Chains A and B, each alone.
Chain A
């Protein structure tokens, strides 16, 4: 029941705190729904939500299809070195996000970065301020999400693909279905449970992204890359607005819960149990 103590109880404590103003000492002051009203008008919170939504959308619409594609390629009959490919694609998840982020921030550094140097050497230009430009900074964070998750999720699709009985494909090709029809009518339906799992995993994962924006850009330039998790951290532990941060947490919970429900409805998790 330790488990409840460290997961369930905090959710209720968060609900209570979100209705108070508290700097971490003394007693919390009851303020009702004021934190929520303030959050709605808070431009930084708004951009943290929009950024997080962007990160989630990218993970669903880029990472999931890319992982499926990669898994299909790896599942090709007679492919050699499959285990080696699997190993390599899996590696980013094993490494600490810190290590990855630090390495990539050297890559994308404006003055010294390898990327700009390579661009300069091959195309003759390379002055892009990857991390200092709001738009590019978001692209870099998104790229890190794709880089970190794609290979990991590929593994699940691959396992799912290998579980599909060959007879189904043989039957389909007897019926005259080409590779594309086979993919749509056999592979996709058979993969639905795995797809649901993968989609929820990556959505919940990227909804709480913290390390990448924090280390790459401190949420900047301005607040261009700040995520909700980073917003909560900043309000709670740098500005001592614990009640306000808790309210942001409650809203995040509601958001993630809604996403989960939506995924449920669309992908039908558990429908065919």
Chain B
């Protein structure tokens, strides 16, 4: 009974995805064949070939991947440094700063989207390469998660012994703290890569040029055209899902442990 319901649920979660993946190998007419078939009778790569030949798919892909990689690298560094600061240092206004940071977790993005856009346009910093990355380099959630980890897994004595050995504060962070935080860094990296890679609203606002579209924008545009190009959209979705799925499958243990640690033990 238990297994049965769990498996039914698995089907609810997986079937649409399997259907989409299978349909991406069907010709346009067969996608909506009646009665519907799950798997293609005549599998073909036609959709993929057309997508890659007619649409700047690799450009979108490169844009998304590069932006996501850079913001991941920067935000992992910034969050772990800030989390370390919050966890291990006493300074004036620390509680105030921490509370401001913590409450900002609840600020919906839609609230700040208009001012953020205006600030970037006014300062001339609204180039996609800048604007797609910079607002995300210090996510409150990441700082919070890193603070939790630093507090839990790094004893003060270790930092003291580093100081006794004559390490500077940054050296202590770099050589002692970072290596110990490795599992948490992995979780944060996956989390922030996936967030950036999947973002839609902000790129929609900040990117005007089709040549600078990210994957979600490109797929959205394919879908929005007059004759909805279902076949190409499906092929594109499958290709687009591969990096985040691979990353997730590879680092799922770290991601799940990292995400839940902050929630369960806070």
Q: In B182-222, which residues have CB < 8 Å from any A CB?
A: 194, 197-198, 200-201, 204-205, 215-216, 219-220
Binding site for A on B (CB under 8 A): 2, 5-6, 9-10, 12-14, 16-17, 19-20, 23, 31-32, 34-36, 78, 82, 100-101, 104-119, 121, 134-135, 137-138, 140, 143, 194, 197-198, 200-201, 204-205, 215-216, 219-220, 223, 230, 233-234, 237, 240-241, 244-245, 248-249, 252, 256, 259-261, 263-264, 266
* A249 with B256: CB separation less than 8 A: no
Other-chain residue from A74, A107, A118, A211 in contact with B201 (beta carbon distance below 8 A):
A211
* B106 with A232: CB separation less than 8 A: no
Instruction: Give the 4 A-B CB pairs with smallest separation, nearest first.
Output: A13-B115, A159-B260, A10-B112, A229-B110
| Total chain A interface residues with beta-carbon distance under 8 A | 80
> Could you show 30 A-B contacts with beta carbons less than 8 Å apart?
A2-B78, A3-B138, A3-B140, A6-B116, A6-B134, A7-B140, A13-B115, A13-B118, A73-B6, A85-B10, A89-B10, A90-B248, A94-B245, A95-B241, A95-B244, A96-B198, A96-B215, A96-B240, A98-B240, A102-B219, A114-B32, A159-B256, A193-B263, A193-B264, A194-B263, A229-B201, A232-B114, A236-B114, A249-B114, A252-B110
Residues of A within 8 A of B82 (CB): 3
A183 close to B (CB within 8 Å): no
Residues of A within 8 A of B259 (CB): 155-156
Chain A window 153-167, contacts with chain B (Cβ cutoff 8 Å), 1 for yes, 0 for no: 001101110010000
Majority SS of interface residues in chain A? helix
Other-chain residue from A6, A96, A151, A229 in contact with B108 (beta carbon distance below 8 A):
A229
* B16 with A107: CB separation less than 8 A: yes
* B216 with A98: CB separation less than 8 A: yes
A266 to chain B, nearest CB (A): 15
B245 to chain A, nearest CB (A): 6
Q: Which residue of A lies closest to B106 (CB)?
A: A260
Binding site for B on A (CB under 8 A): 2-4, 6-11, 13-14, 17, 24, 70, 73-74, 76, 79, 85-92, 94-99, 102-107, 112, 114, 117-118, 120-121, 147, 151, 155-156, 158-160, 163, 193-194, 197-198, 200, 204, 207-208, 210-211, 214-215, 228-229, 232-233, 236-237, 242, 245-246, 249-250, 252-253, 256-257, 260
Q: Which residue of A lies closest to B265 (CB)?
A: A163
* B6 with A74: CB separation less than 8 A: yes
* B244 with A94: CB separation less than 8 A: yes
**Complex Cα–Cα for A257 and B105 (A):** 11
**Complex Cα–Cα for A252 and B113 (A):** 12
Residues of B within 8 A of A215 (CB): 220, 223
* B237 with A102: CB separation less than 8 A: yes
* A97 with B200: CB separation less than 8 A: yes
Residues of A within 8 A of B249 (CB): 87
**Complex Cα–Cα for A147 and B13 (A):** 7
* B17 with A103: CB separation less than 8 A: yes
Residues of B within 8 A of A158 (CB): 260
* B223 with A236: CB separation less than 8 A: no
**Complex Cα–Cα for A99 and B240 (A):** 8
A3-B101, A242-B118 as given contacts; A252 in contact with B138, CB under 8 Å: no
